[in-house]
């Protein structure tokens, strides 16, 4: 019994691991390093491109709940994240390179996993297959999928990665370490702008020259990873209510909140490289240097990577997939990751986890381990397979796609904590069954 897993991103890596630990042989197909995409630089698996942050860690956040569910169920991605964690206040952030290396070593050393390098241009005609080629699916395979599904069943959007600067090049006379509202540890570098500095920066950003991206239009931008220049063009104060909001950040020199604040977050465990939070962009590299250097603390910043823009592809999943991420018309094909319309690294891992667990159970003659929509894992799967949705858009996990409690709890954080506890209590009753076939 063998399963082919195509793609070794977070979803494919998780899927391969869950299948192998349940006694199933896996051929893991990954086109790197023979073929690289514009967004990837490392030959390792599970490469983090957009950020080193796996977002909020607390159970008052839906993504924090999703991580805890995966952690309790033996997720490889969460195991790697916990092993390579770096401090980031209330978020779970990792050393990107150590994280990918950890996942790669675990998969390559597993006796039931065989790694085959090279681009996959067509789906295998027989056998069980997990397709986890991600939002950067190669043109050849994307065309093959389009032929399989027919016209009008795949959609495109665009995603952007933020630039990186060296810590030693940040002018700390115009910045300070703190987390918003002093929560957790002071893990962010905060770069203040006065009203005059902000307005000059905003005007330059609005008129900066973009790199040519075929087919890009503002209406196609996914709100969860919007380029900073697109956000700026929506109004002078849009950034100040978004990634540059000063709320909860007091400049120690003045004791007051600045007019605007750019936050930087560690991108490696050594703290030598920092990520401009919320600065996904597709400006030309020279324009990035010119405009972002207008931020006082970054006037002499050394950019070790500029932001890049790349095409993302996702399926019209409600019409194509069931709640186990299987293709309705051909259940031997399982899809996982951002191509299914789940948005985010943790969500991608969750789809790979669920798709692989259910595939393994089907191959072993076991009934499905149905995750209800009161769990984050189940809610996400049911969202992407819900045929009643209108215009399908990618979605991060959130409490809004989970059933309400049915009674009032005072305070949003308190309500979210109760929702999380409801899920974890239910998950505890499922754990023994879900983990019973681990070998």
The whole-angstrom separation of Cα 132 and Cα 356 is 11
Residue 153's pLDDT is what? 72
- State residue 396 phi and psi, 5-degree precision: -75, 155
Q: Are 248 and 218 in contact (CB under 8 A)?
A: no
Sign of the dihedral through C-alpha 68, 69, 71, 76: negative
pLDDT grade, residue 226 (50/70/90)? confident
The whole-angstrom separation of Cα 336 and Cα 77 is 14
Q: Are 240 and 263 in contact (CB under 8 A)?
A: no
Would the pLDDT of 198 be above 80? yes
Paired tokens of 257: 């909140």
The whole-angstrom separation of Cα 340 and Cα 7 is 14
Would the pLDDT of 197 be above 70? yes
Peptide bond into 33 cis (omega under 30): yes
Q: Which of 359, 263, 288, 327 is nearest to 12 (CA)?
A: 359
CATH number listed for the domain at residues 163-306: 2.40.30
The whole-angstrom separation of Cα 269 and Cα 48 is 14
Paired tokens of 314: 């996702």
Angle between helices 76-83 and 62-72 (to 10 degrees): 100
For all residues of the chain together, what is the average pLDDT?
Answer: 90
| Whole-number percent of the chain with pLDDT over 70 | 93
pLDDT grade, residue 217 (50/70/90)? very low
Residue matched to tokens 């990665």: 161
Sign of the dihedral through C-alpha 384, 130, 358, 438: negative
Would the pLDDT of 311 be above 70? no
The whole-angstrom separation of Cα 292 and Cα 191 is 12
Would the pLDDT of 422 be above 80? yes
pLDDT grade, residue 222 (50/70/90)? low
Where in the chain are the domains? 2-158+312-434, 163-306
Model confidence pLDDT, tens digit, residues 265-289: 988 787 888 999 999 898 999 999 9
Residue 158's pLDDT is what? 65
Q: What 3-state class would DSSP assign to 140?
A: helix
* Window from 120-124, 146-150, 388-392, 425-429 with minimum mean pLDDT: 388-392
Architecture of domain 2-158+312-434: 3-Layer(bba) Sandwich (3.50)
Q: Which residues of 400-438 are buried (b: 16+ CB within 10 A; e: fewer)?
A: ebbeeeeeeeeeeeebbbebbebbbeebeebeeebeebe
Same-fold call for 2-158+312-434 versus 163-306: no
Residue 437's pLDDT is what? 84
**Over residues 118-124, mean pLDDT:** 92
DSSP state letters, 221-264: B-GGG--HHHHHTT-TTTGGGTTT--TT---TTTSS--SEEEEE
Would the pLDDT of 218 be above 50? no
């Amino acid at each position: 019994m063998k399963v082919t897993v195509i793609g070794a991103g977070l979803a494919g890596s998780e899927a391969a691991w869950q299948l192998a630990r349940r006694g199933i042989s896996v051929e893991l197909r990954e086109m790197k390093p023979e073929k690289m995409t514009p967004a990837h630089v490392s030959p390792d698996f599970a490469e983090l491109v957009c950020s080193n942050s796996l977002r909020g860690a607390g159970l008052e956040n839906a993504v924090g709940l999703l991580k805890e569910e995966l952690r309790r169920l033996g997720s490889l991605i969460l195991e790697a994240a916990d092993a390579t964690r770096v401090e980031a206040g209330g978020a779970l952030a990792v050393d990107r390179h150590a994280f990918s290396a950890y996942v790669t070593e675990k998969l390559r050393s597993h006796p039931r996993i065989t790694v085959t390098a090279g681009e996959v241009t067509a789906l295998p005609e027989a056998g069980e297959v997990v397709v986890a080629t991600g939002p950067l699916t190669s043109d050849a395979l994307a065309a093959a999928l389009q032929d399989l599904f027919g016209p009008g069943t795949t959609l495109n959007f665009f995603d952007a990665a933020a630039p990186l600067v060296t810590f030693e090049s940040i002018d700390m006379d115009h910045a300070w370490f703190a987390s918003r509202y002093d929560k957790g540890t002071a893990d962010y570098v905060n770069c203040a702008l006065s009203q005059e500095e902000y307005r000059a920066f905003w005007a330059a950003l609005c008129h900066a020259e973009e790199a040519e991206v075929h087919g890009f239009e503002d209406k196609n931008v996914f709100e969860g990873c919007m380029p900073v220049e697109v956000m700026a063009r929506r109004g002078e104060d849009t950034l100040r209510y978004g990634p540059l909001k000063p709320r909860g950040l007091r400049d120690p020199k003045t004791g007051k909140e600045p007019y605007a604040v750019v936050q930087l977050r560690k991108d490696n465990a050594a703290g030598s490289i920092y990520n401009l939070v919320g600065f996904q962009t597709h400006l030309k590299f020279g324009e990035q240097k010119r405009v972002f250097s207008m931020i006082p603390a970054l006037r002499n910043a050394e950019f070790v990577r500029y932001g890049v823009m790349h095409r993302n592809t996702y399926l019209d999943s409600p019409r194509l997939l069931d709640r186990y991420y299987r293709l309705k018309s051909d259940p031997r094909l399982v899809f996982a990751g951002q191509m299914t319309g789940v948005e985010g690294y943790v969500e991608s891992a969750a789809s790979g986890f669920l798709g692989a667990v259910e595939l393994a159970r089907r191959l072993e003659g076991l009934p499905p381990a149905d995750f209800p929509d009161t769990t984050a894992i189940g809610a996400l799967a049911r969202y992407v397979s819900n045929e009643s949705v209108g215009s399908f858009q990618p979605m991060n996990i959130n409490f809004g796609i989970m059933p309400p409690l049915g009674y009032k709890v005072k305070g949003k954080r308190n309500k979210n904590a109760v929702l999380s506890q409801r899920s974890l209590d239910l998950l505890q009753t499922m754990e023994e069954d879900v983990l019973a076939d681990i070998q």
